[in-house]
Structure 1
Amino acid sequence: MKQITFASRHHQLTNTNTWTPDSRWLAYDVRPSGASFTGETIERVNVNSGEVDVIYRATHGAHVGVVTVHPAEDKYVFIHGPENPDAGWHYDFHHRQGVIAHNGQVSRLDAMDITAPYTAGALRGGSHVHVFSPDGQYVSFTYNDHVLHERDPKLDLRNVGVAAPYGPVTPQGAHPREYAGTFWSVLVSHTTPMPQPGSDEINRAYEEGWVGNDRLAFIGDTVSVHGDKVPELFIVDLPKNEQDWKRAGDTPLQGMPDTMPAPPAGVAQRRLTFTHQKVFPGLVNVPRHWVRSNPQATQIAFLMRDDNGIVQLWLISPEGGEPRQLTRNESDIQSAFNWHPSGNMLGFVLENRIAQCDAATGEVTFLTSDHGNPPSGDAIVFSPDGDRVAWMEETAGFRQIWITETA
């Protein structure tokens, strides 16, 4: 094990895509905790030398965080909070945006238009946890809506969206908090405030993961016939070309004053898991995790309890079918997870150690032994070359970044 950050402050890795393509640098933000959005810089650290670069520094009272890296270029995307925040407009789920930093240049990812009639390709609220597709063309995100939040916060349902490189989008409204964006942004999930019990309807879509370059899987909260929340796995097939990204279905892409923005025509979510009758139904929300496909886009991994109540890794085909229980541990997996770039292994925290399991057999190998403090469950991230894995743990009172070799 090697500690690579040393300063007397916190360092926060995002749950995926934190390494530069050459496997030499790790990007991070400096929030004091994952839930406290008060960091002012996006940085990266060289895993060999410990050298630190500041990629971006926020100004005018804004804060930034949750950075991920492009798979092939020296390009970074992250959450940016409002500049000059005030009592009426400050950082919140529905008041944030994506920003891309590339070769010293900074651009807004998504446009925002909160003045009716709204603008197709623009959002009406906040995007967050931005992740490039494997080919780097698209960016996925989760979303909260300002317009519906103002009407009734219960109508502001979390959704999943995609920013496609078919902008720019320039809203024509006059609200001082509106802005243009370089990408065309739409939602790809569909939620409803009151799902029919026992149906495929959901009131929340979140923790998405790319399945190749043209599909996106995510967790959706269904409601059982008994009225209980049951998180299930869903998938959407994405449009193939610019024309399809911009073609509206029955509801306008940009939404209406009383409706959420809608997916493009032909984008329909499909449910992959049906666990309402299990002893422990549903994917787990603790530990928080993001569903992840292998690089070959043939298997989606997620966390769910077995019949003994133990949190295990499960796999399912993007085409559906019965999930396969991969791990058979005697104690819970304790973290989010990621696939090794080979697709042969997955990494996570187990028994307060960094572990990886064989993607075919589920056999677990521990990569670390004694930790000063348990590794954080937020992020276990393999380098693109597959040689190392990074995580965070408390060290001398601060969250620091550590790495170890995978073999």
Structure 2
Amino acid sequence: MSEGPQADAREFALTHAPRGHLLANRGCWSADGRSLLFDWRTDETRFDSPGIGRLCIDSGEIDTVYRADPGLACGVPTCSPSDDRFVFIRQDTLPTDDWPYCAWHRHGVIAHAGSDPRPRVLDARNLVPPYTPGALRGGTHLHTFHPHAAALVSTYEDHVLATSQDPAAQANRRGLAIHLLNRPVVVPPTHPRNQDGISHSVCVTRLTDLPTFGSDQIGVATGEAWVGGRLAVAFQGTVRDLAGEPRVELFLVTLPEAWGEPEGASVAIDASSDGPLAGTPGTRPGVPAGVCQRRLTDTTDRAYPGIVGPRHWAVASPDGSRIGCYLRDERGRVQFWTVGTDGSPPMQITHGDYEPTSSFTWHPAGVAVTYVADGSVWWVDIDTGKLSRLTPRAGEGAGPTHHACVFSPDGTSIAFLRPRRFGDGQPFNQIHLVKGWQA
């Protein structure tokens, strides 16, 4: 472990305003690496940002690339890896007492940062049977582009099941949805909250209300991320161990290759034995035929089983060969590990004394990851496990936050957040950058 900080590493504060700034845990850099997209939420527990901001790295200038309608909010922008598109969560219009903002009352929106400012609803919604294949029935969250930018993945929760009064209905459970672009979906105007969308959306995780103890069945799917350039998504699934206790393990869902081909927009998406793609009043939308879900880890026999640590996502190395995660070592300390997408056993990368306190991202060359630990931003060498401190250690409440620690597209900079107090008021998260280190 190199205590550093690295002599050549330099930290810059990029924002200086007494208001909140939040970055997504990944995908916050523009494709050209010249700007960062963020929102103005006070913190991640409050959905109160009035718009989406773009911060120019060189000049420090900020412009608003999307402004929500008065009284509404938006947030969590992520960028296309190939052009100026970005996607974000938007609160449904005109919230009411019977339609408040919640996990199943929000949707994704795609806009262009420069060439075409018109926002477009990503996920269609139909709340009234007969439901529409390609449309969802609730809300989506944290949308990220596939590396080839023709599809997105998000989490999903179902309004129909969340509000059902039928005791025999399945429960609303967080799962994953895939949004295939260039396949617009139009729904009937049978409900004031129905909406058309520019993508064909399908649920791709098989969820169970009562997973069998000790099985591969899952009750929740989250922590999702694309696996390299493949049509596959890694995620964290919650199983039940032999004693019935919940435990998080890594899973992989692979999608039909035809969905990613040039003529994919015309490929039929067929139902499987799981049931109708659009769902029924008492069941979740069915997983399409050809979608395969498999478990990657089984930590049952470990002294400290299960994926643990700060909230993080199952982000794969750029070549898609392995997935990062946090597990405890034999001492009970949280360390960074990788798991091969071929199902090979977890490999411990770090052996340090400082546990990570943020999510991580991969260097674009796959040689390192970065995360926050012990009040600093760190470089973690994948081959050797060496940890190098990039920013000086800061005391509690002053160090880099848990929200984001994100490599730039060229791997020369890391964006993160640091709280700053203005006078006697509350602290507000500010966007910082560290660069110039010697790996």
Name the aligned partner's letter for residue 434 of structure 2: T
Q: Which amino acid in structure 1 is aligned with residue 390 of structure 2?
A: L
1:205 aligns with 2:205: no
Is the counterpart of residue 98 in structure 1 residue 121 in structure 2?
no
Cα displacement (A) at 1:371:
3.5
Among residues 136, 160, 170, which one is paired with 1:147 in the alignment?
Answer: 160
1:18 aligned residue (23, 28, 38): 28
| Corresponding residue of 1:29 | 39
Please state if 1:225 is matched with 2:242: yes
Q: CA deviation at 1:171?
A: 1.1
- Does residue 313 of structure 2 align to residue 283 of structure 1? no
In percent, how many aligned pairs have the same letter?
Answer: 38
Q: Deviations over 1:238-270 (max 9, x none)?
A: 122236661111211111111111221021210
Amino acid of the structure 2 residue aligned with 1:376? T
Q: Distance in 1 between matches of 2:25 and 2:138?
A: 23
Residue 188 to residue 244, structure 1, CA distance change in 2 (3 Å): farther
Matched with 2:430 is 400
Q: Which moved more, 1:390-399 or 1:364-373?
A: 364-373
2:410 is aligned with 1:385: yes
Q: Find the counterpart in structure 1 of residue 261 from structure 2.
A: none
Distance of 1:91 and 1:15 partners within structure 2: 22
- Are 1:269 and 2:282 counterparts? no
For 1:2-401, what aligned pairs fall within 5 Å after superposition? 2-102=12-112, 103-151=116-164, 155-213=171-229, 214-241=231-258, 242=264, 246-250=269-273, 251-284=275-308, 286-371=309-394, 373-396=398-421, 397-401=427-431
Q: Is the 8 A contact 2:235 2:314 kept in 1?
A: yes
Question: How far, CA to CA, are the matches of 2:222 and 2:268 in structure 1?
Answer: 21
In structure 1, the residue matched to 2:6 is none
CA distance in 2, matches of 1:133, 1:94: 23
Question: Contact 1:234/1:272 (CA < 8 Å) preserved in 2?
Answer: yes
CA deviation vs aligned residue, 1:23-77 (integer Å, no higher than 9, x gap)? 1111000110111111111011111211001010110422100100000111110
CA-CA distance at 1:316 after TM superposition? 1.1
Deviation for aligned residue 1:277: 2.1
Bigger relative contact order, structure 1 or 2, given CA contacts below 8 A and separation 6+? 2
Supply the AA of the counterpart residue of 1:39: S
User: Which range is displaced more, 234-243 or 264-273?
Assistant: 234-243
Q: Tell me the amino acid that sits aligned with residue 117 of structure 2.
A: G
TM-score computed with the length of structure 1 as normaliser:
0.97
Which moves more between the two structures, 198-207 or 317-326?
317-326
Alignment RMSD: 1.4
| Partner Cα separation in structure 2 for residue 371 and residue 347 of structure 1 | 17
Deviations 1:149-184 (A, max 9, x none): 011698110001110014210112410001000000
Q: Which runs of 5+ in 2 are unaligned?
A: 1-10, 259-263, 422-426
Q: Distance in 2 between matches of 1:165 and 1:370?
A: 44
Partner AA of 1:171 in structure 2: V
Kindly tell me the number of residue pairs found equivalent between the two proteins. 406
Q: Is the 8 A contact 1:163 1:183 kept in 2?
A: yes
**SS of match in other structure, 2:345:** strand
Cα pair 2:108 2:141 within 8 Å, conserved: yes
Tell me if structure 1 keeps the 8 A contact 2:80–2:86. Answer: yes
Partner SS, residue 352 of structure 2:
coil
One-letter identity of the residue aligned with 1:85: P
The structure 1 segments of at least 4 consecutive aligned residues displaced by more than 2 Å after TM superposition are 241-245
Query: Cα offset for 1:321?
Result: 1.7
**Displacement, 1:226?**
0.5
Q: Rg larger in 1 or in 2?
A: 2
Instruction: Report the Cα offset of residue 106 of structure 1.
Output: 0.9
* Amino acid in the other structure paired with 2:91: G
